[in-house]
Amino acid sequence: MLQTHSTLDIADEDQSRAQLYALLGRLLTAAPDTGLLARLTQIGGDDSELGQALAALSAAARRMEPSRIADEFQDVMVGVTRGEVVPFASYYLAGFLHSKPLANLRGDMTKLGIARQEGVPEPEDHIGSLCEMMAGLITGQFDAVADLHEQRRFFNAHIAPWAPRFFADLEAAKSAAFYMPVAKLGRTFIDIETQAFALIAAEQAA
């Protein structure tokens, strides 16, 4: 959904963060195709909460047909007039779409050299787009280089205030089968990022 540029050499830990953001962005903006589902079936897990979430997502990819997941995505994320969840920051933070949170995001996008792709109808404050933006900020895909301070600022401004509530709503959506483990993965990862950025802020303040 975004126009990107060259990437930077980054640490393995940050590459893993970017990959998780990119995966969430892809799954939250469109139903996965057969190729992505095949890759998801190969994901391993571990005993950590994040590892368990990844293992649950992999298991869902193995047991569900692509057509069923596509129908689920339509019901949960899109709907006829709206889906079971509304994946936009403006809705969660202001109660309606195309409001101040979107305007604030667009201002930051301009500063950071982030341009939306032509032909994408959804507002930029879609949770999937925000995950894509975080992935790009980590890997240096946009015009401006975003260090951890800038990543934290963007995360705290545009994701942290509402993403946990969104993922909780997605996890509880009555039609969510494949998207239940997607929600669990998102909720767990956002919590890890929140704690990590808080630790960085504390260390900088000390």
Residue 194 above 90 pLDDT? yes
Window from 7-16, 60-69, 74-83 with minimum mean pLDDT: 7-16
116 pairs with which residues across the strands? 2
Q: Which domains does the chain have, with CATH numbers?
A: 2-205 (1.10.3480.10)
**H helical segments located in the chain:** 12-29, 34-40, 49-63, 66-73, 89-94, 100-112, 127-139, 148-158, 163-172, 179-205
Nearest C-alpha neighbor of 178 from the set 76, 84, 69: 69
The per-residue pLDDT of the chain, averaged, comes to 92
Residue 8 above 70 pLDDT? no
Per-residue model confidence as pLDDT tens digits over 19-37 = 999 999 999 999 999 999 9
Mean pLDDT score, 141-163: 91
Nearest C-alpha neighbor of 25 from the set 151, 114, 136, 160: 136
What per-residue confidence (pLDDT) applies to 178?
98
Residue 163 above 50 pLDDT? yes
CA distance 186 to 23: 10
The band of 79, judged by pLDDT with boundaries at 50, 70 and 90, is confident
Tell me the CB-side half-sphere exposure of residue 94, using CA atoms within 13 A.
14
Nearest C-alpha neighbor of 128 from the set 86, 98, 79, 97: 86
What per-residue confidence (pLDDT) applies to 200?
86
Model confidence, pTM = 0.92
Rounded percentage of the chain residues whose pLDDT exceeds 90: 81
| Residues composing the chain | 206
2 pairs with which residues across the strands? 116
- Strand-pair category, 2-3 with 115-116: antiparallel
Per-residue model confidence as pLDDT tens digits over 28-76 = 999 999 999 999 999 988 999 999 999 999 999 999 999 999 999 999 9
Mean pLDDT score, 89-95: 97
What per-residue confidence (pLDDT) applies to 145?
67
